[in-house]
Amino acid sequence: MRIVITGASGNIGSALLRALSGQGHDLVGVVRRPAGGPVGTDPVTWVRADLTEDCAPLLRQTFRGADAVVHLAWGFQPSHDLDHLERLGVGGTRRVAEATAASGVPHLVHLSSVGAYSPRSGPDPVRESYPTEGIPGSPYSAHKVAAERLLDRIEADHPDLVVARMRPGIVGQRSAGSALLRYGLPALVPSFALRAVPVLPLDRALSIPMVHADDVADALVRVLSSTAAGAFNLAAPTAITVEHLSHALGARHVQVPASVVRRAASLSWQARLQPVDPGWIDLAYHVPLLDPTRAHDVLGWEPRTDAPAVLEEVIAGMRERAFDATAPLRPRTVARSLRRSLRVGPVARRPET
């Protein structure tokens, strides 16, 4: 198969390239920054494209003759530039979907998110029919919802195009450690600070679905090989709670109401003291848990790593500044982060680089 993957150098993209390696596919990666080294064992043709700009001719040319397009590209920073994030997430999805249809590609696989779902109404995991109206207060969620509505229109206008929507929980892997440090911690904070977290001030109501990047990649491979359509929840057994976070960090949990946690996150973000916008607190406390039965029944998918193990791996990766050969997963050091902050500003206010 000829498979074009947007965002192929990121967290999930790198895992997908590994999963597709050795299967004889013609792999094309559409990225803003081509990989700095090999990803997987098969060669990848890299195409440089900025999905925030008008790149329709390039996308149509790149997609021509493909058997499938997998759209993974998304942005998380700069969190203070919502226009940029919307141009990338929503505008980029529109450009990719329209170019896929115009090029006659038969299969479009879109990476959506648990963040597209409406707030949970109880403790039970939800199926794919649960409303997708998003989590109020979360820009990330609002953009994921807008992308899903775009796909609704594309499907209505192009009934011959098979569209699959993957809705994973929070996706993690060890090699994303450096990237998560850049996106989640101030430039001055070293990775070893995660080894000395004395207390964890969170509301015990926290409950988050999580899944390993390799398990998401396995589901994507199964969707591609079967040309499957529709939405698929992807989550590992056992939702992440404050007890799991406390254990992974070696910290003592201190009960703090979610409203107080959100207020503290908002004030520190507005003051540019940390780069994570408060919408992620809203997301963490309101997303539903996921029932992945459809992925099991249709794709034969089973996660190989449970959520607490994914969390442990992610935190270990952050502590060790784990990285990969691609630009988004490059190594992070305090010195490099400080130099870049002085030159082009903090990550929360500049385009991802």
Q: What does the DSSP assignment read for 260-291?
A: HHHHHHHHHHHTTSSS--THHHHHHHHPPPB-
Q: pLDDT category, 82, cuts 50, 70, 90?
A: very high
pLDDT score at 341? 63
> In the prediction, which pLDDT does 348 show?
64
Instruction: Report the percent of the chain where pLDDT is more than 70.
Output: 93
106, 162 contact by CB (below 8 A):
yes
Q: What are phi and psi of 34, to 5 degrees?
A: -55, 150
For residues 9 and 24, give the distance between their C-alpha atoms in angstroms, rounded to a whole number.
19
Q: 321-340: string of b/e by CB count within 10 Å (b at 16+)?
A: bbbbebbbbbebebeebeeb
**For the segment 258-301, what is each residue's pLDDT rounded down to a tens digit?**
999 999 999 999 999 999 999 999 999 999 999 999 999 999 99
Tens digit of each residue's pLDDT (9 = 90 or more) over 133-173: 999 999 999 999 999 999 999 999 999 999 999 999 999 99
Strands (E), the chain: 2-6, 26-31, 44-48, 68-71, 107-111, 162-168, 170-172, 199-202, 210-212, 230-234, 252-255
Alpha-carbon gap, residue 302 to 318, rounded angstroms? 26
For CA atoms 175, 74, 52, 110, give the dihedral sign.
positive
The pLDDT value recorded for residue 325 is 86
3-state secondary structure of 17: helix
Separation of alpha carbons 45 and 321, rounded Å: 28
Number of domains in the chain: 1
DSSP H or E stretch at residue 102: helix 92-102
Q: Residue 195 maps to which CATH number?
A: 3.40.50.720
Q: What is the rounded CA–CA span in Å between residue 269 and residue 80?
A: 9
Mean pLDDT, rounded, of the chain:
94
pTM of this structure = 0.94
Work out the average pLDDT over 52-81.
Answer: 97
Residue 82, token pair as written in the block: 């919502």
Alpha-carbon separation of residue 93 from 5, 97, 147, 176, 178 (angstroms) = 13, 6, 6, 23, 26
Task: Look up the domain containing 25 and give its range.
Answer: 2-349
Among positive and negative, which fits the CA dihedral 262, 328, 91, 340? positive
In the prediction, which pLDDT does 353 show?
A: 44
| Per-residue pLDDT tens over the stretch 301-334 | 999 999 999 999 999 999 999 999 888 999 988 7
**Ranges 6-10, 50-54, 119-123, 349-353: which has the least confidence:** 349-353
Local structure of residue 118 (DSSP, 8 states) = P
pLDDT at residue 29 is higher than 80: yes
Q: Strand, coil or helix: what is 353?
A: coil
Distance, CA of 17 to CA of 34 (rounded, Å): 14
